[in-house]
Amino acid sequence: MRLSKLVLALLLQQSVLASRPAKRHYDTHDYYVLEHNPSADASLDECAQTLGVEVVEQAGELQNHWLVRTTKQQLSSRDSQDRVLRALDAIRARAQSPTYSRSEDGHLSRRVSYAVKYLSRQELRQRVKRAPPPISPGSLIDAPTAQEVAEQQQILDPEFTKQWHLVNDDYPQHMMNVSALWEKGITGKGVITTLVDDGLDYNSDDLAANFYAPGSHDYNDHTDLPTPKLFDDHHGTRCAGQIAAAKNDVCGVGIAYDSKVAGVRILSGPISDIDEAASLNFGYQEAAIFSCSWGPPDDGRSMEGPGYLIKKAMVNGIQNGRGGLGSVFVFASGNGGRNGDQCNFDGYTNSIYSITVASVDFKGLHPDYSEACAANMVVAYSSGSGNYITTTDVGKNKCAHTHGGTSAAAPNAAGVFALALSVRPELNWRDMQHLCVQTAVKINPDDPDWETNAVGRHYSYKYGYGALNGVEFVNAAMEWESVKPQAWLEMPAIQIADGTMDIFQSATGGETITQDGLTSTMQMTEDLLEEHNFEALEHITVKVWITHTRRGDVEVELVSPNGVKSILAAKRHGDGANTGYPGWTFSTVKHWDEDPVGEWTIRVSDQGKEDQSGKFLGWTMTFWGSVIDPQQAKTYDVPVLEATLPPLYDNNDESPSTTTSTLEPTSSKQYPKPTEHLPGDHGEAPGESDKPAFPGSGDTDATKPVDDVELPADPSPSATHTPTPDEGWFSDLSNLMTNQVWFFVALGAVALFAALAGLFFWRRSVRRRKNYTSLPAGDDVAMSSVGGARSGPRSKELYAAFDEEDDEDADEETGLRRGLGESPAGLGFHSGFLDDDDPASAGAPLTKYKDVPDHRDAERSQSPASGSGSGDWEHASQEHAPHS
């Protein structure tokens, strides 16, 4: 019986895997993603039937995730509950209700609720290209010819000599430097790059020979071929041309002109999370590189990242893509530099799984549109100072001369990676990152944005580790020995003055942020590293919980034990959001290879305005790097719930699989057409090499350390403040009770019920966990069921809360409740927190800061409190308002 079920499931899966994605019909159907627990009793079909949905296919490349659908529902405002999610809620309620316990129905409900690990409704949203609009080419500068290279290598492409990014006659020190590799026959053979974009003109004479159809798909129009159809669907084609335009007599050549390109079209209309997730894994056994020149708006006020399924797809990509070597994700850093935007407010560019590429222009200057942040890994050449990128355009024999932005920087980097993988196909995704760090070339050595990090490398928020250089990169790749598997070490979260944030993003506790700033420290020890099989540091991610009435005023920085500082958030003049940072994750690559042992200090400050203030509630950090012992390497799993403080569980744990559902659209907004986001004159973008990216940041002298309040029942001697990462917050019942007190107070009677129910099922699941190795999923987080039992806005928030950091509109709608979140302090639970202040130690840890260049102080005194960029935020928001 069981066996036959298994065989059936396998067969089903096989046939699904072999076929192309089914056509979606969002106009007539509602789509959901259902994660099925294969070890559960209820089969997928049984679950689908019970929920009233039909199974379409496996959801992209995510195992045990299924795209399911039902006929479209009219959601009136009065009855705004989604039928399918309501059905799941009812099933869960029945599964848990004693009334039904013996009935047939109760039995079925229990089996189904164990089997459905996750269910979310798919909404369409628009991703934003980092593209230039078609602009008048009146001001193009004709670069002098690269005639010699063309003659030596018989390059007949008529526009080759205009491709200064390949051979720069004016500024020969500034180019991708790949022609010497071509001479050696390194031209990208055998490597496939997927352009996740707005299509790819495979009929172009410049691309036809190098087009890889099996790896291509159109997720906007649900067809196999990624045909550009809209008037401005030229972005993907231009990016593809930079990588793989053929060496022939059309336009110019690509950096890896014998490599292949596939096109996955997602930017030409709204797209659901699961289709975006699938697109990032499309054909990922064959394709090595996924070049992504898009993301959330670059308006200097958005803060958005990939949703759960998309994150999962990225993790799936690096773990399982390319036969386990991992997909190489390349992301454009963003074009919002003029809006004061920073790539650390974009969850794609600051993902550790992506190589983030910013721009440098043909003179080697930093163009003002290119975003700075501590997640920038390298720069590649693109538009600015009066020059653009020349590449293939849509059409049979067409050439584009106005391409640019960080959109064009990312494919130039992808082209170099393709060259490297053509000679070393066995290098993994992290090898490519290491090679970036090690071989990027320092440009503009006098730029004050450069700093020397703890291992003697140069790092800049504007340039990352420097300009990517083909010859340097590929030569190093030829010798490179693969790094050991990835290790990670998630530190226990520190709660500041009992700071908490629940799934509704309601906050309690925390300490008021001041202009002088608050600091908090975390201790990394040799023992912890060893315990976690952690050898050498690569990325660091830092998650913060901060409430603030004006997010753009908040600055966050991290200082290493060796005194190296990473600015994670500098002021953003345009960011007036009142949502703070509800568990937002920043990242930094600046500490690569640094010895992490010792005290890490976070500093949070604001402008000290009375009417714009907030609280620092807590933080945590995760160290990513390589393992000591490859035999003991673990596989990372993306947690469903990430944004609560204290965290509900951590990754090293055998995490309970949490079921969430999204009732309402998490994003009803349509992003404006992406071409709006790159300044129209990006080719004319003034460049500079004499300004720090974040002037005014780093005034740390007066910072006041907060005493990190110890959590109840702290079981760990190895970390000073909190339990070791392995011991989740729910390690025993009393711990749970204490930690949940905030929850009871904040949410009142209804929520009290929710918490009790949660507690009840948590206890059950703990009991279960002792008895079984794998935990049935259905009843771990009963909150969504409880939420579903209520109607109206409350339950909507409940669902939306699972979607954390994702959405500004939702944030705005629920801002009210967040504002109320701090009220319980009046009840006396946290009244003692100020006692923990110790003025005597104020500023003490900060004397170690060593990497603030002296002239910054001078600059600061000239322009007090000036953020990056200029202009007022009203202007920025107007710009954002009525697009398209």
Ligand X SMILES: *[C@@H]1O[C@H](CO)[C@@H](O)[C@H](O)[C@H]1NC(C)=O
- Alpha-carbon distances of 408 from 161, 358, 390, 461, rounded to whole Å: 18, 9, 10, 19
User: Hey, which residues between 84 and 103 contact ligand X (CB under 6 A)?
Assistant: none
Binding segment (CB under 6 A) for ligand X, from list 169-177, 388-396, 398-406, 445-453: 169-177
The answer to whether 870 and 658 are in contact (CB under 8 A) is no
CA distances from 776 to 63, 65, 113, 820 (A): 17, 16, 9, 36
Q: Name the minimum Å distance from CB 443 to ligand X.
A: 9
For ligand X, the closer CB: 235 or 457: 457
The contacts of residue 557 (CB under 8 Å, 6+ apart) are: 565, 566, 567, 568, 569, 602, 603, 697, 698, 700
What is the maximal distance between C-alpha atoms in the chain? 85
Helices (H) and strands (E) in the chain, counts: 20, 34
> Is residue 122 part of the contact set for ligand X (CB under 6 A)?
no
From the list 159-167, 174-182, 378-386, 841-849, the region that binds ligand X by CB under 6 A is 174-182
* Least gap, CB of 436 to ligand X (angstroms): 15
599: helix, strand or coil:
strand
Q: Which of 6, 180, 230, 737 binds ligand X (CB under 6 A)?
A: 180
Out of 268, 291, 407, 765, pick the active-site residue. 407
Q: How far is the CB of 442 from ligand X (least distance, A)?
A: 11
- Is residue 555 helix, strand or coil? strand
Q: Between residues 174 and 571, which has the closer beta carbon with respect to ligand X? A: 174
- Say whether residue 175 binds ligand X (CB under 6 A): yes
Q: Would you state the structure tokens that stand for residue 714, as one six-digit string?
A: 């702290």
495 touches ligand X by CB under 6 A: no
State phi, psi for 138 to the nearest 5 degrees.
-60, -30
Catalytic site includes residue 593: no
The gap from C-alpha 624 to its chain's centroid, in whole angstroms, comes to: 15
d(CA 493, CA 651): 13
- Rounded to a whole number of angstroms, the minimum distance from the CB of residue 182 to ligand X is 11
CA neighbours within 13 Å on the CB side: how many for 181? 33
The minimum distance between CB 380 and ligand X, in angstroms, equals 13
Count of positions on this chain that bind ligand X (CB under 6 A): 6
Residues 6+ apart with CB under 8 A from 151: none
How many CB atoms lie under 10 A from the CB of residue 844?
12
Q: How does DSSP assign 404-468, residue by residue? A: -SHHHHHHHHHHHHHHHHHH-TT--HHHHHHHHHHHPBP-STT-TT-EE-TTS-EEBTTTBT-B-
Q: Rounded to the nearest whole angstrom, what is the least distance from the CB of residue 177 to ligand X in the complex?
A: 4
User: Measured between alpha carbons, how far apart are the two ends of the chain, in Å?
Assistant: 57
Residue with Cβ nearer ligand X (307 or 466): 466
Report the nearest approach of ligand X to the CB of residue 175 (Å): 6
Q: How far is the CB of 474 from ligand X (least distance, A)?
A: 10
Among 82, 89, 197, 201, which one carries the catalytic annotation? 197
Task: Taking each helix axis as running N to C, give the angle between helix 406-423 and helix 235-244, from 0 to 180 degrees, rounded to the nearest 10.
Answer: 30
Contacting ligand X (CB under 6 A), which of 70, 81, 161, 177? 177
Neighbouring C-alpha atoms within 13 Å toward the C-beta of 452: 5
Exactly one of 165, 174, 217, 235 is catalytic; name it: 235
Record the tokens describing residue 531, joined without a space. 């315990």
Kindly report the backbone phi and psi dihedral angles of residue 842, in degrees, each rounded to the nearest multiple of 5, phi listed first. Answer: -55, 135
Q: Which of 63, 71, 99, 173 binds ligand X (CB under 6 A)?
A: 173
Q: Which is nearer to ligand X, 180 or 737 (CB)?
A: 180
Q: Got the DSSP string for 457-504?
A: -EEBTTTBT-B--HHHHHHHHHHPPPPPPEEEEEPPPEEBTT-EE-TT
Token pair belonging to 313: 């797809």
Angle at 622 between CA 585 and CA 416, to 5 degrees: 75
Sign of the Cα pseudo-torsion (472, 477, 481, 485, in order):
positive
CB atoms within 10 A of CB 457: 18
Gyration radius (Cα) of the chain, Å = 27
Nearer to ligand X, 176 or 261 (CB): 176
Distance, in Å, from the CA atom of 695 to the CA atom of 461, rounded to the nearest integer, reads 11
Residue 36 is among the residues annotated as catalytic for this protein: no
By beta-carbon proximity to ligand X, the closer residue of 467 and 782 is: 467
Nearer CB in complex with ligand X: 178/643: 178
Is residue 407 part of the annotated active site? The answer reads: yes
Give the nearer residue to ligand X in terms of CB position, either 471 or 663.
471
Amino acid at 128: V
Least CB distance to ligand X at residue 23 (A): 48
Q: Among residue numbers 254 through 283, which ones bind ligand X (CB under 6 A)?
A: none
Pick the closer one to ligand X by CB: 178 or 542: 178
Q: Which stretch binds ligand X (CB under 6 A): 170-178, 279-287, 764-772, 843-851?
A: 170-178
Which one of 173-181, 266-274, 761-769, 775-783 is the stretch in contact with ligand X (CB under 6 A)? 173-181
State both tokens at 632. 């003991």
Give the separation between CA 418 and CA 193, rounded to whole angstroms: 7
Instruction: Name which of 471 and 775 has its Cβ closer to ligand X.
Output: 471
Site for ligand X in 449-478 (CB under 6 A): 469, 471
Matching residue, tokens 């100020």: 834
Nearer residue to ligand X within complex by CB, 185 or 712: 185
- Rank residues 11 and 180 by Cβ distance to ligand X and give the closer one: 180
* Identity of the amino acid at 226: P
Residue with tokens 């009843």, as numbered in its chain = 779
SS3 state of residue 210: helix
Tokens of 618: 């807590």
Where on the chain is the footprint of ligand X (CB under 6 A)? 173, 175, 177, 180, 469, 471
The residues assigned a catalytic role are 197, 235, 407
